[in-house]
A = this chain, B = another copy of it.
Amino acid sequence: MIRPFSYHDRTLFILDQRLLPLEEKWLPCTSAEEVARAIRTLAVRGAPAIGIAAAYGLVLAAPMGIAQVEAAARILTLARPTAVNLSWAVRRCLAAARFAGEGNLQERLREEADAIWAEEVRANESMATLGAGLFDPGRTYSILTHCNAGSLATGGMGTAVGVIRRLHEQGKLSRAYMDETRPLLQGARITAYELNADGIPCTLITDSMAGWLMKLGRIDAVIVGADRIACNLDAANKVGSYSLAVLAHAHGVPFFIVAPRSTFDPDISTGEEIPIEERSPEEVLTFQGSRSAPQVDVFNPAFDVVPHRLITALITEDGILRPG
């Protein structure tokens, strides 16, 4: 199983996902600031994964005492705005830190980071089994996914990709289709890399082809992850998810969100309140470092919001939610 990071020798080694699949380079982070930079620049990405990485960022700050841990918590929380897993993990670790004595602050934070990671791994397993259970045995399905909600986004077997992996294990997967997911190509670079490594039959398409594949009858279900889910079950996810949900609805194709409890935000009532990160125009004006457009104005939201009425079911580790 590919992992997005490993912690040893008081260092969080982060696999630089910006370079995949061409290069496997590990970034050694020895401070919370370095972890925050890795999150901000997308060396590590994926809602559950950045939560876990932030937890280890606090471990790195622990030798300098609780005040430095609190300062690191602020920096880590601000690294990216949309995925709530980040602030959730930081708050949970801070609460643990405040109950720890100075003497065992580092040990307590390490325990909490390890626990968060272990829980995400178990949650992935549960969601994979619950999600695959929604598909009948005795036939096979073609599944479309978007962006990367796999091992490198979660630290476990994945959320959306976890369900695809379990369907494959159970002989219920005919093929996974992956949107390439511009601008940063997480589908082409990372999901293709993960599924290919596992020997799962998969086909890459550009984002614009998804609707046409549905029209051709080649997609049985769309399965994606999420970055933040509001109380009314509106779900923010990688930009393009909203279009996919509308297209799926128009074609009678079920649309599933797979996300652990850490992605649910109890402080937000609807998707309209979810902050949507806008990223640099350069991500759209260039393609893998090559210039692809003249210097024109760009709109580059990193996420969009799928309204709950377009979601057939949300799969969590504790059960399946059906909006409405």
A180–B196 CA distance with the chains assembled, in angstroms: 27
Q: Are A212 and B180 in contact (CB under 8 A)?
A: no
Given A22-B291, A301-B212, A304-B212, A284-B205 contact (CB < 8 Å): yes
Closest to A147 in B: B208
- For residue A26, CB closer than 8 A to chain B, the reply is no
Q: Are A180 and B182 in contact (CB under 8 A)?
A: yes
Write the A251-291 contact mask toward B (1 if CB under 8 angstroms, else 0): 00000000000000000000000000000000011011111
Q: Are A287 and B285 in contact (CB under 8 A)?
A: no
Q: How far is the CB of A115 from chain B (nearest CB, A)?
A: 34
- A299: B residues at CB distance < 8 A: 177, 203-205, 209, 213
Q: Which of A2-10, A59-67, A241-249 contacts B (4 or more CB under 8 A)?
A: A241-249
* Secondary structure of the A contact surface, majority rule: mixed
- For residue A138, CB closer than 8 A to chain B, the reply is no
Q: How far is the CB of A14 from chain B (nearest CB, A)?
A: 21
Q: How far is the CB of A193 from chain B (nearest CB, A)?
A: 5
Q: Are A203 and B298 in contact (CB under 8 A)?
A: yes
Q: How far is the CB of A224 from chain B (nearest CB, A)?
A: 12
Q: Are A287 and B284 in contact (CB under 8 A)?
A: no
Q: Are A208 and B284 in contact (CB under 8 A)?
A: no
Q: How far is the CB of A251 from chain B (nearest CB, A)?
A: 8
A241–B134 CA distance with the chains assembled, in angstroms: 32
Q: How far is the CB of A287 from chain B (nearest CB, A)?
A: 4
- For residue A189, CB closer than 8 A to chain B, the reply is yes
Q: Are A297 and B202 in contact (CB under 8 A)?
A: yes
Binding site for B on A (CB under 8 A): 21-22, 177, 179-183, 185, 188-189, 192-193, 195-196, 201-213, 215, 239-240, 242-243, 246-247, 249-250, 284-285, 287-301, 304
Interface CB pairs A-B, < 8 A, 17: A177-B299, A182-B206, A185-B287, A188-B293, A189-B292, A192-B296, A193-B293, A201-B297, A204-B299, A206-B300, A208-B208, A209-B304, A210-B243, A212-B304, A250-B250, A287-B287, A288-B291
Per CB-CB distance, the 3 closest pairs between chain A and chain B, nearest first, are A208-B240, A211-B243, A188-B293
